[in-house]
Structure 1
């Protein structure tokens, strides 16, 4: 999975979940002793009871505290005010190693906290052209008050001289799980109330799919609830995991992991069903299923051709659901002409497909028969749409599922979120806990707001925007003109890890006058700022969140675990003080502390629960806020009968006239007249094969090896890179690269060697892992390694830590979606023979 989503465009209530688990025992945060009484449900997963303790302050100095993170609800053990252990708050569940390193995130070996407000030296001294030294300068500590003045004065200058279209509010990324301390929303609230800003469209995770799917299905689809897992386990005969790696990605969630996805994956493994994994590599999921699944190796970037071979076989054999096509889809006849070759003279048959995707003709024909002859669920991943022409992959998969004809049936059809945030875990009856909003413009700034908010740039085009002010691009039928950005404000993200073609970003990033960053750590992005504010970790403040983006299974208190770093402040505090300095502090805070907001969010959900008569999994009513917060225990809700029986598109299948899709025809649009009118060369009116800009089968290769850069096993993108988990995977103190034994032998590379991976875009150092996990001609480097330039002032400098995005392409998927093409890249490799430079990714910059 790529780097996270545009929450402004996604309904946060579209989540779901499952019956389970018992409630926690009580841990009051009031001085004195307590006695806990455990409670458990009939589920095999039960809450861990905290140990008895006594406290002298509001913080637990010796005992257990319950909080939550993207990787799940956590029980954190504290001794002498320090974190000594963290684990899953519930027992009896699949192990998740991400949950064990909470202490590292506060003051661990690699943590590298920002300990005070810092300003880049030449920026502070107002040297001419100082922005060219961004990332290669030393730093100076300033007081918090001085930092507030510097930033507020600069924002006022830019607003008055250039207006809101000169301010970019980036902040794209997997921010804190908490609903209150949502860095992205807090930043946008500050910029919005101040008069407007330039924002982002879409996200890196599903940039192509979330634009094409509304044309095809009338919805984003990638962030929708899936057919309930229990129905898949009951009814599916064949389950295809296509381009996804749920064994790794189900360890995390956008809010907080509800732990159910991996449990269902175990049940699927032991179900006896036919399981097929389609992936260029032996992913963690392929290894998880072992002999219980068939692994089909596909050439990277060729999934569309593979699907076309299956579709052609079904079409010419007549083994497809003609009634479903006739009653539920639009424009199949035009697509059919393309498949058989009437449109371009090329039949997209199994032989043609095999020559591109590397899967045998026999296997392609076999799959056509297997898919149509059995109740088949295709669980599509997002990797194949993070490629050049990525719109085509999910569109083609929907066409394939339409021909199979099982969309809307229990256990049949397709789903694009089974690998993400535990999609398919049945939805509960829980009321949804809201969060802070982006607010409205203050009086006197409305004209700025209308101008600033009118400009939103596809997030994956941020480098292009910074580098080319005034340039126009096509986007989903509209024309967007890039503004000239003079001020970049980033909080809750790490673009120097998640954005493609790092060297091009580096040059563009040095164009604006000012870059301000909020962070807890000296990340690569913090090192590329002018002003940095040290921010508290989620374990140093109070918050609230829910478990399961689709399940809503728990309402989790996120109790402050330890005292904050001395000079660190929450994003809310920093923006409140900046708003005060800019003259709208009262509008920003509305006179509320963070705890006031948290109580307000909870009370709104509580009121809804009261009105609806909602009871929790233990049969009790939802407690009031004082009781909830004092008890320090997640609330557990049960799956509803509707959640357990949910079948995606069942209503549409039952009656497509009364329950039409949100497309112009009300049907699945295999042929889109809307897209046809856009007249784009790289995204036509129906899905088709386009040759990628770089791929293993191209005639004139710019490099030798296809690079795959999937989501890592032991990180959440770049998060947790600075924990002891790194000791589990680093090779020669670098990010690992997996190389097929035959390729390694040809290059004279052995296990543990330092390798230089390079192409025309950049160069990185990585540590060799010689393994048949990857086929010949393909190498794997996980995304998310912190960028660590050998000489930040030098163009095309070596990244010493192995950030894959130094090598990836920064081109749009197409003019339709402008998504990122991170998974389309060719690279070279060679054994590094010199003295390998020291890795400094986790060291502070000079002066800090």
Structure 2
């Protein structure tokens, strides 16, 4: 008789209830407590048991044979080896690199979402291990909202804190008249949250706003960036022109005496410089509605009417994270703050601004009541780091110089790269350039579940257990639930839990005790849970012991601040609750940034034209490409799962094309098209729809990179937009990714369709 059980698991996209038959997951559904469970769970079974699963340790043949440059990374075959052989090779390499070049030659950015567990968190495990081996060069920031992380401390304070303090959506439903959404608020993004989400609340909260009579304006080239229930007014703008539109609105407020001068006087510094720039006193160019209309495509009359509407009631300004992943992405955030300050509603219920609504499931919806326990990473003896979006720059330009936050810095010389829990061949820009950059290190090690492009670019590949193949507990960084995660099934093939891998490596290197602290996996889980229980007790919450929790159901915790209003304390008393800025106020002009004397980020918000468009005077690449989080997976995770595969067209990622643009190129829905520019090209499946504005296309991110190295520009066969994005950053201030500023052309693909190999295993060979 089959053993048929239902068991809990947790992922970044929610709580899952897995059906397990004979030690195999056959399905994962949402938890009954979740009002809008994500269908991403339907990918888990197919990915765990798919053809791409890494089953044994493997080493790149040319590297193993002692001639690593004979075949480029990404094109080589692999040799499967024993665990002892793989770990011996890694221990030898760590020893060699440390002895010859020092720990500054080890780079372990390992950026990514890994799994939702508190203990088996890939980056934490790797960083703890490397910290016990003398340290490593790390990356700083993230791809999602790095410009906000780098800019906001100069203007209002630490962005991560302010995201947690965002005004709650029930408050908006009760108090707001209008929500103006720059970049929209795509529900597909709100399926996920870092660490996990227990209940998907966004749909219900937005519906409550609509029922309460709150009006919404969707400022985005994509109409579906606003949920249908909102009946939002759609203002399709030219991508990258949000700052110009904000300035046109602000100029109207000035021109028609609609500014709150008292708020500007009491709560901000530097408005005079902003006013002079908006009025054209510093550059002879007034930033009026006509000027903004020419740049955005929005009628000047519409701009003026919207400005009056914003000033005439309680208005929340929302800036999506994607808006700051563009050329000069600091500017729309800074200008949004200036616009909100001019309206004078910051700190009032339902008014002001928020950067990041909709970037995940929890911002503005819920927050955790206390900090969970976690695995201590120890102290990294190496202080060097690079901004997260500069991997290619570092690898291609060792010892080269760059600017960051007003400092002159030097890239490390990375001889060893170790990646765990992430996929740079999804996240990073200009993948052809990244492919070249990945040829430069002496050794690359990758821990992975599947043969992603990152694994295929490694020298040593370690197969690791999936979240469902080990015991842990889930707890989102901004959620209010704790989820037991008992091991559901045996790891596939020879996959191992990473903690055991590092313990074996530490034993080979002579300091196992320093890494393990004398604890087994069960010992660590008990300790981390007891830390969580202790903090819960201090918050007035009682949690069960570890074994009772692991055998039970989800533990839902109280909402710590259901009526939260962003910057309400600061508004109530700007001296007592002064902001952590040089002036203690909102800095509409920053003396610090002005003092850096940067060419691409002034001391106040300013307009800079997008670079791809400016560098293409003949219009060779006339279509603006938008790329964003898909609804079928988290970034590139589980792209080989059933739900992800079900939305592809001819096996390729779908690209949205306006009917006029499609007709001009002889394209119809279901066709395979080739998208291209000077950096690269990829194949995608056409979906002709008027939900995208003319002159734009939209391609989801996360299709596993599948280059055909025999085709022009190593054409990606699968539809990965990052073969087309540039590797320039937002500015010298934050060095953030600006991938949403790519211009492309496309055409119907007439040649025989090449097979997609991304979801297969790479070729294997024999040593020697």
Task: Report the TM-score when normalising by structure 2.
Answer: 0.96
Matched position secondary structure for 1:116: coil
Aligned counterpart, 2:700? 782
Structure 1 equivalent of residue 219 of structure 2: 278
The answer on 1:827 being equivalent to 2:756 is: no
**Corresponding residue for 2:54?**
114
What SS is found at the alignment partner of 1:497?
Answer: helix
Give 1:780 shift.
1.1
2:46 maps to what in 1?
A: 104
Q: What residue number does 2:393 align with?
A: 464
Retained in 1: the 8 A contact 2:42–2:643? no
C-alpha distance in 2 between matches for 1:540 and 1:265? 36
CA distance in 2, matches of 1:237, 1:118: 59
Q: Sort the Cα spacing of 1:424 and 1:243 in 2 relative to 1 into closer, same or farther, 3 A.
A: same
3-state SS in 2 of match to 1:212: helix
> What is aligned with 1:576?
503
Q: Within 2, Cα distance between the matches of 1:699 and 1:806?
A: 22
Question: Displacement, 1:227?
Answer: 1.1
* Cα distance in 1 between the residues matched to 2:734 and 2:55: 40
Q: Secondary structure at the match of 1:200?
A: strand
1:6 maps to which residue?
Answer: none
**Residue aligning to 1:41:** none
Contact kept? 2:42, 2:642, Cα under 8 Å:
no
- Residue 220 of structure 1: aligned partner: 159
Matched ranges for 1:25-40 at <5 A: none
1:97 to 1:625, Cα distance in 2 relative to 1, 3 A? same
Which residue matches 2:651? 733
Q: Which of 511, 514, 521 is the aligned partner of 2:440?
A: 511
Aligned mate of 1:76, from 13, 18, 40? 18
For residues 567 and 519 of structure 2, the distance between their equivalents in structure 1, rounded to whole angstroms, comes to: 43
Matched residues in 1 for 2:174 and 2:614: separation?
40
Q: Give yes or no for the alignment of 1:628 onto 2:628.
A: no
2:536 is matched with which residue? 609
The one of 143, 155, 166 aligned to 2:82 = 143
Q: Give how far 1:242 is off.
A: 1.9
CA distance in 2, matches of 1:254, 1:812: 24
Residue matched to 2:29: 87
Change (3 A) 1:295 1:95: farther
Partner of 1:481: 410
How far is 1:67 from its partner?
1.5
Q: TM-score, normalised by structure 1?
A: 0.87
Distance 1:339 1:698 in 2: 28
Q: Hey, what's the Cα distance between the residues in 1 that align with 2:45 and 2:208?
A: 32
Report the CA distance between 1:79 and its aligned residue: 2.1
Q: In structure 2, what is the Cα distance between the partners aligned to 1:428 and 1:800? A: 42
Instruction: Name the CA distance, whole Å, in 2 between partners of 1:90 and 1:204.
Output: 33
Structure 1 distance, partners of 2:516, 2:210, is: 50
Who is 2:186 aligned against?
246
Q: 2 CA distance for matches of 1:225 and 1:106?
A: 37
Taking the TM superposition and a 5 Å limit, the aligned residue runs for 1:580-599 are 580-599=507-526
> Are the counterparts in 2 of residues 114 and 534 from structure 1 also a CA contact under 8 Å?
yes
Q: Within 1, Cα distance between the matches of 2:196 and 2:30? A: 12
Superposed counterparts of 1:749-764, under 5 Å: 749-764=667-682
Paired with 2:349 and 2:367, the residues of 1 have a C-alpha distance of 16
* Contact 1:261–1:425, Cα closer than 8 Å, also in 2: yes
Match of 2:316 among 367, 377, 387: 377
Give, in angstroms, the shift of residue 500 of structure 1: 0.5
Gaps of 5+ in 1: 1-53, 56-60, 442-448, 615-620
Q: Report if aligned partners of 2:238, 2:296 keep a CA contact under 8 Å in 1.
A: yes
- The whole-number CA distance in structure 2 between the counterparts of 1:696 and 1:715 is 34
Q: Which one of the candidate residues 644, 653, 656 is aligned to 2:562? A: 644
Distance 1:684 1:315 in 2: 21
Query: For 1:566, which of 456, 468, 493 is the aligned residue?
Result: 493
Aligned match of 1:229: 169
Q: Pick from 768, 771, 783: which aligns with 2:686?
A: 768
Q: 1:464 and 1:69 mapped to 2: Cα distance?
A: 33
1:696–1:826 CA contact under 8 A, matched in 2: no
Residue in 2 aligned with 1:326?
265
* Distance in 2 of aligned mates of 1:836 and 1:244: 35
Segment of structure 1 superposing worse, 500-509 or 783-792: 783-792
Distance in 1 between the 2:523 and 2:361 partners?
29
CA–CA distance in 2 between the matches of 1:555 and 1:740? 44
Equivalent residue, structure 1, for 2:624 = 706
CA distance in 1, matches of 2:418, 2:580: 36
The answer on whether the counterparts of 1:165 and 1:455 sit within 8 Å (CA) in structure 2 is yes
1:815 to 728, 732, 754: 732
Which whole-Å CA distance do the structure 2 matches of 1:720 and 1:99 have between them? 9
Shift of 1:508: 1.0
Give how far 1:677 is off: 0.8
State whether structure 2 residue 363 is matched by structure 1 residue 423: yes
Contact 2:276–2:282, Cα closer than 8 Å, also in 1:
yes
Q: Does 1:719 align with 2:658?
A: no
Bigger CA drift: 653-662 or 825-834?
A: 825-834
Deviations 1:368-426 (A, max 9, x none): 11111111112211111101100111111111111111111111111123212311224
In 1, Cα distance between equivalents of 2:103 and 2:68: 24
Count of matched residue pairs: 762
Aligned to 1:269: 210
Give the Cα–Cα distance (whole angstroms) in 1 for the partners of residues 613 and 422 of structure 2. Answer: 30
Displacement of 1:610: 2.8
Q: Which residue of 1 aligns with 2:66?
A: 126
